[in-house]
Amino acid sequence: MLIDTRLTYEDYCLLPSDGRRHEIIDGELYVTAAPFRRHQKVLANLLYYLIDFVKSHDLGEVYSAPFDVAFSRYDVVQPDILYVSKARISIITEKNVQGAPDLVVEVLSESTAKIDRTTKLKLYARSRVREYWIIDPETSSAEIYRLVPGGYELAAQLNSSQSLTSPLFSGLELPLSRLAE
C-alpha cells in the first residue's frame, strides 16, 4: 500500500507566518525569502498600472502577493500579481482564488527565477491560466506566454524599449521602461 506523502492545502494552512513565501506545487513545499528592492519597485509600478487600468475599465480585480491561488489540493501558490476578469469573479473567495486566474505575473528574483521559468510555467499552463507574464526587473524585459491547445506558447519577448500589450486588456500599452522608475 502506497501512502501519499504530498503536502495538501490543509498542511499549507498550518505553516507558520515567518515572513517568507510558502507555496505548494504538486505537493512539494517551496519557500523563498523576501525579494530585493528592485523587484518590489517593479512589482509596485506594474501593480499600479494594472489596477488603474482594470478599475477605470471595470474589467475585474487585481491582487498582489500574498494572496493564495488554490489550483488543487496539492497546488497552492502566491503569484506576485494576479488578475481575474469580471466574468469569472466568482472564483475569488475571502480566503483565496479557487482555480485559474486569467493572468498571473511573476517578477523574477534570484531565489525564484528558475522556479518561475520552469515549475510555475508548467503549473500555470496545466491549470489553464490564460496568460503568464514573467518580468525581469534587472533588464525591464518581459516574456508573455499565452494559453493555446496543449499548453503555453511564447507570444512575445519584450525588451525595455517596448510596450506590453495584451488581449486581456484592450487599449493597455505599458512601456516596460516605466516599471523601474
Domain membership of residue 42 (yes or no) is yes
Give yes or no for residue 151 having a pLDDT over 90. yes
Alpha carbon of residue 9 to chain centroid: 18
Give yes or no for residue 18 having a pLDDT over 90. no
pLDDT confidence bin for 181, thresholds 50/70/90: confident
Cα separation, 21 vs 76, in Å, equals 11
Give yes or no for residue 5 having a pLDDT over 90. no
Contact 48, 83 (CB under 8 A): no
Mean pLDDT value across residues 79-95? 97
Domain membership of residue 89 (yes or no) is yes
Copy the grid coordinates of residue 33: 525569502
Contact 128, 100 (CB under 8 A): yes
Cα separation, 157 vs 1, in Å, equals 47
Pairing of strands 81-85, 60-64: antiparallel
Domain membership of residue 13 (yes or no) is no
pLDDT at 118: 96
Segment 91-111, tens digit of pLDDT: 999 999 999 999 999 999 988
Name residue 152's beta-bridge partners: 147
Residue 109: which domain range? 35-180
Number of domains within the chain: 1
CATH code of 176's domain: 3.90.1570.10
Mean pLDDT value across residues 110-136? 95
Look up residue 169 and give its DSSP letter. Answer: S
Nearest to 100 by CA among 81, 120, 119, 125: 125
Taking the chain, what is the end-to-end CA distance rounded to the nearest angstrom? 57
Contact 143, 120 (CB under 8 A): no
Pairing of strands 75-77, 69-72: antiparallel
pLDDT at 1: 63
Domain membership of residue 26 (yes or no) is no
Copy the grid coordinates of residue 128: 489553464
Domain membership of residue 142 (yes or no) is yes
Cα separation, 147 vs 50, in Å, equals 20
Coil, strand or helix at 128: coil
Domain membership of residue 8 (yes or no) is no
Domain membership of residue 10 (yes or no) is no
Cα separation, 73 vs 149, in Å, equals 24
Domain membership of residue 82 (yes or no) is yes
Q: pTM of the full predicted structure? A: 0.92
